[in-house]
């Protein structure tokens, strides 16, 4: 077994860590060429890592003084109802020779700091091609929760007979609100169980529609609106994107109209529009337990990242390893 040392991630490690990530990303992009090229350049990662180590703890693994892995992240005040430590796709990497050992070592070092900061839920997004990271996460008790996918702008060319698709405007707010609530209700049901805490009202949808490059399409048949799909640019580090990526934020087809190509026709329509606006790629993310979403998206999009979550028993806050005998009273 190879022996590694670990230490806190500091400024002097940034350059080598960024290079390690970019090498890994290049391998990922060979599998899915539609992924943005920018992350192949380690200089794109350097500011992200600099910012990360300023804000939160991170660990590097070394072998003979060379960086073979790193893991960091930041706190999400709330993810699925809990304070969460989150490592985005760029916040970790390991040498491809021994990812299992390296990730185990890094996580064992960092997890206690995440716990000390009140994060009993840990979330890691890994590049989809990175089977080493995925295996290591799975062995460490993480389970898949979200899939990020991407495609280029080639058309799907699907016949959607008798379907009318139109871009929504302010006159459609009521229809949008109804369909959006149906999507939220669907996601709150089995097996996805995403809690429906608050319904989004008219004001939310009005504001959403007025933002640049925000577009929503409605599909109707025989005078009934049966489906919608909405897309917008995404400014977030949880998904591999750049300024040329448009993101599908939501889609819903009423139950009686499903499985007839309406969702696919909406995707095709939306992609044609986005291409006209200068976008080069389209992304969509979805819960891995949403079978209907898997059927639609995995047919036309390629997985680029998987996110894995782990919950630590919160009783560890008081029943910790160094708990003294005098605290065992009841």
Ligand X SMILES: CC(C)(COP(=O)(O)OP(=O)(O)OC[C@H]1O[C@@H](n2cnc3c(N)ncnc32)[C@H](O)[C@@H]1OP(=O)(O)O)[C@@H](O)C(=O)NCCC(=O)NCCS
Question: Which residues sit at the interface with ligand X, rule CB under 6 A?
Answer: 183, 186, 227, 251-253, 258-264, 286, 290, 292-293, 295-296, 299
Query: Minimum Å distance from CB 161 to ligand X?
Result: 12
Q: Which is nearer to ligand X, 110 or 248 (CB)?
A: 248
Q: Which is nearer to ligand X, 67 or 187 (CB)?
A: 187
- The residue among 25, 125, 46, 45 whose CA lies nearest residue 84 is 125
7 has which bridge partners?
A: 60
Query: Minimum Å distance from CB 283 to ligand X?
Result: 12
Q: Which is nearer to ligand X, 183 or 234 (CB)?
A: 183
Long-range contact set of residues 223-228: C-beta below 8 Å, sequence gap at least 24? 225/175, 225/179, 226/253, 226/254, 226/256, 226/257, 226/262, 227/179, 227/251, 227/252, 227/253, 227/254, 227/257, 227/262, 227/263, 227/266, 228/168, 228/175, 228/176, 228/179, 228/180, 228/252, 228/266
Q: Name the residue with the smallest CB distance to ligand X.
A: 263
Query: Minimum Å distance from CB 256 to ligand X?
Result: 9
Q: Which is nearer to ligand X, 39 or 252 (CB)?
A: 252
Query: Minimum Å distance from CB 238 to ligand X?
Result: 15
Q: Which is nearer to ligand X, 200 or 299 (CB)?
A: 299
- The residue among 293, 285, 286 whose CA lies nearest residue 264 is 293
Query: Minimum Å distance from CB 249 to ligand X?
Result: 9
Q: Which is nearer to ligand X, 247 or 308 (CB)?
A: 247
244 exposure class (CB count in 10 Å sphere: 0-12, 13-18, 19+): middle
Query: Minimum Å distance from CB 263 to ligand X?
Result: 3
Q: Helix axis angle, 173-188 relative to 202-210, nearest 10°?
A: 110
């Amino acid at each position: 077994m190879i022996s590694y040392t670990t230490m806190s991630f500091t400024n002097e490690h940034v350059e080598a860590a960024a290079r390690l990530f970019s090498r890994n990303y290049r391998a990922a992009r060979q599998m899915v060429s539609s992924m943005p090229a920018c992350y192949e350049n380690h200089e794109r990662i350097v500011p992200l890592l600099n910012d990360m180590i300023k804000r939160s703890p991170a660990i590097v693994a070394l072998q003979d003084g060379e960086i073979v892995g790193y893991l960091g992240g930041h706190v999400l005040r709330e993810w699925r109802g809990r304070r969460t430590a989150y490592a985005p796709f760029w916040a970790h990497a390991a040498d491809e020779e021994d990812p299992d050992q390296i990730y185990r070592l890094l996580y064992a070092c960092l997890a206690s700091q995440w716990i000390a900061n009140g994060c009993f839920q840990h979330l890691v997004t890994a590049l989809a091609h990175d089977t080493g990271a995925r295996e290591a996460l799975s062995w460490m008790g993480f389970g898949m929760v979200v899939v990020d996918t991407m495609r280029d702008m080639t058309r799907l060319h699907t016949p959607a007979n008798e379907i009318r698709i139109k871009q929504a405007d302010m006159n459609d707010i009521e229809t949008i609100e109804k369909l959006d609530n149906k999507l939220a209700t669907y996601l709150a049901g089995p097996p996805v169980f995403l809690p429906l805490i608050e319904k989004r009202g008219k004001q939310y949808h009005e504001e959403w529609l007025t933002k640049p490059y925000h577009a929503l399409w409605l599909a109707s048949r025989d005078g009934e609106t049966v489906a919608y799909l909405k897309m917008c640019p995404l400014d977030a580090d949880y998904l591999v994107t750049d300024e040329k990526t448009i993101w599908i934020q939501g889609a819903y087809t009423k139950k009686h109209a499903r499985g007839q190509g309406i969702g696919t026709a909406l995707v095709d329509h939306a992609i044609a529009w986005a291409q006209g606006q200068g976008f080069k790629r389209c992304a969509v993310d979805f819960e891995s337990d949403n079978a209907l979403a898997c059927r639609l998206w995995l047919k036309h999009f390629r997985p680029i990242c998987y996110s894995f979550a782990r919950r630590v028993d919160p009783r560890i806050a008081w029943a910790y390893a160094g708990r003294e005998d005098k605290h065992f009273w009841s």
